[in-house]
């Protein structure tokens, strides 16, 4: 029997996983702000080009619509919004329609690190703090004037039939129908257990900054396919569900849209690779939970097991260690001559023309957006001649996929004490700076860089 930590899992979910009401309201305000920017940008285009583009409706989609958003330290929140136009009020081409929305947003989203960009399925507005809003463009029409319902098409690579409320309505119905009913005999868990299990899986998928795993709709679909309800315990339901998901992915790493079974959510090899990676990480981390099934497993051991799985201090707060002190004396022993070395970096836009203010996460750690530039500078008191070596160690799935895990650059003392790098891959990476004099390292410093 698996050690019962239902109460602890429920408290973890309620306090550390589920998004707070205040944070949810902030996301809604961001959505409203950018809808207004879109409308104002369209007005400007209308005046400039003598057009009559009018947004007729907007609908929140994705995790916010089905209330499965989870807390995360990096504020990496994805806000999905469908923007709907009448068919005769948009360009005929799906690409031109997406470009129209990109143009309207660019006119009003000024001073963004990354300008609003039209992808293949949506237009993204990226905030430096981590938030991003994806606007999916839809057109609506009626085949006959007397028809009550509209037909909707989504502007992907081409126009495709898709209802903007389809996935939202499907998942909300599944959560209601598949979760144990509080009114039923023998049910002791709160309603909507399937929603809590979905949030917990999303929390696991975000538990390591270096991971690159499937997005929310794929994770939610996998829960929908594999959910194992439990009338008494959320922790057991979650365990059984993730085991079922792992086994399901062994059979196939393809995931189909639950409302359009002929449409794959993982059409590219990169998508499938992320699904396979989820299986691998589940397989690896599930071994930490084996102790939960041992006879005599204590609550303390059980919490430590879930700590290893979720990588979250709720389960077992980190003890204050003396590692920093040990590192100091080890460094003094390695570099007995007291040369000072301090390494700082500043954030710039991609083309290195504008310095940007940096943001911090909820742990007050500095975070950097992708597709920008970092200017590193070494301040030291090592007399010339010397050589500075800048060694980059990238960690995480994205860098691994590109096979760019490490590279280094060296400069003579007269070439300067600075170095540029790009923020190409999500994760926490390191810049190791070494100063070499008389053929030996006389000072060394490591700087951690988190990219979201």
C-alpha span between 339 and 382 (Å, rounded): 6
| 17 CB neighbour count, 10 Å cutoff | 22
Q: Which residues pair with 429 in a beta bridge?
A: 449
Helices (H), 227-378: 234-251, 269-286, 299-310, 323-334
For residue 34, give both structure tokens: 């950018």
- 105 vs 117: CA distance, rounded Å: 9
Residues 91 and 28: beta-carbon distance below 8 Å = no
Residue 243: HSE in the Cβ half-sphere, 13 Å Cα cutoff: 12
The length of the chain, given as a count of residues: 452
Question: How buried is residue 256: exposed, middle or buried, by Cβ count under 10 Å (0-12/13-18/19+)?
Answer: middle
Cis peptide before 385 (omega within 30 of 0): yes
Burial class (CB in 10 A: 0-12, 13-18, 19+), 87: middle
d(CA 131, CA 114): 12
Of 15, 27, 115, the residue nearest 75 (C-alpha): 27
CB 198 within 8 A of CB 68: yes
Report phi then psi at 86, rounded to 5: -70, 145
Task: List, in sequence order, every residue forming a beta bridge with 446; answer none if it has no partner.
Answer: 432
* Nearest CA-CA partner of 65 in 218, 171, 200, 168: 168
- Pairing outcome for strands 256-257 and 132-141: unpaired
Concatenated DSSP letters of 256-296: EETTEEEEES--SHHHHHHHHHHHHHHHHHHGGGGGGGSTT
Q: Which of 131, 133, 130, 128 is nearest to 38 (CA)?
A: 133
What residues in the chain have per-residue pLDDT under 70? Answer: 318-337
Rounded Cα distance between 403 and 420, Å, is 20
Q: What is the DSSP letter of 19?
A: P
Written as six digits, the tokens of 151 are 């037909």
């Amino acid at each position: 029997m698996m050690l019962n930590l239902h109460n602890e899992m429920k408290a973890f979910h309620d306090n550390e996983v589920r998004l707070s009401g205040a944070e949810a309201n902030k996301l809604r305000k961001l959505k409203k702000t950018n809808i207004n920017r879109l409308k104002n940008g369209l007005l400007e285009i209308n005046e400039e080009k003598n057009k009559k583009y009018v947004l007729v409706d907007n609908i929140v989609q994705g995790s916010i619509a089905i209330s499965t958003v989870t807390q995360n330290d990096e504020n990496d929140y994805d806000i999905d919004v469908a923007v709907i136009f009448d068919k005769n009020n948009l360009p005929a081409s799906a690409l031109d329609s997406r470009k129209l929305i990109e143009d309207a947003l660019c006119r009003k989203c000024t001073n963004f690190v990354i300008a609003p960009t039209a992808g293949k399925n949506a237009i993204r507005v990226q905030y430096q703090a981590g938030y991003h809003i994806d606007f999916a463009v839809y057109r609506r029409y009626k085949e006959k004037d007397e028809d009550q319902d509209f037909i909707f098409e989504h502007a992907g690579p081409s126009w495709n039939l898709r209802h903007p409320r389809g996935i939202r309505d499907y998942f909300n119905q599944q959560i209601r129908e598949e979760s144990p009913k509080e009114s039923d005999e023998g049910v002791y868990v709160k309603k909507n257990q399937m929603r809590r299990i979905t949030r917990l899986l999303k929390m696991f998928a975000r538990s390591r900054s270096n991971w690159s795993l499937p997005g929310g709709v794929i994770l939610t679909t996998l829960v929908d396919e594999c959910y194992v309800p439990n009338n008494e315990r959320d922790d057991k339901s979650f365990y059984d569900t993730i085991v079922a998901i792992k086994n399901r992915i062994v059979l196939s790493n393809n995931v189909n849209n639950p409302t359009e079974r002929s449409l794959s959510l993982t059409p590219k090899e990169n998508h499938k690779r992320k699904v396979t990676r989820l299986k691998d990480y589940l397989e690896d981390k599930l071994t930490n939970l084996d102790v939960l099934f041992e006879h005599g497993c204590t609550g303390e051991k059980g919490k430590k097991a879930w700590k290893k799985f979720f990588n979250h201090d709720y389960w077992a707060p980190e003890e204050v260690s003396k590692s920093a002190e040990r590192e100091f004396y080890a460094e003094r022993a390695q570099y007995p001559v007291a040369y000072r070395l301090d390494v700082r970096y500043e954030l710039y836009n991609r083309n290195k023309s504008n310095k940007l203010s940096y943001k911090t996460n909820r742990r007050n750690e500095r975070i950097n957006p992708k597709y920008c530039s970092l200017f590193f500078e070494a301040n030291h008191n090592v007399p010339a001649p010397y050589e500075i070596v800048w060694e980059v160690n990238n960690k995480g799935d994205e860098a691994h996929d590109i096979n760019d895990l490490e590279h280094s650059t060296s400069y003579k003392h007269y070439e300067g004490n600075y170095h540029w790098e790009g923020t190409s891959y999500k994760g926490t990476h390191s810049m190791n700076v070494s100063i070499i004099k008389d053929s030996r390292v006389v000072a060394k410093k490591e700087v951690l860089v988190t990219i979201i």
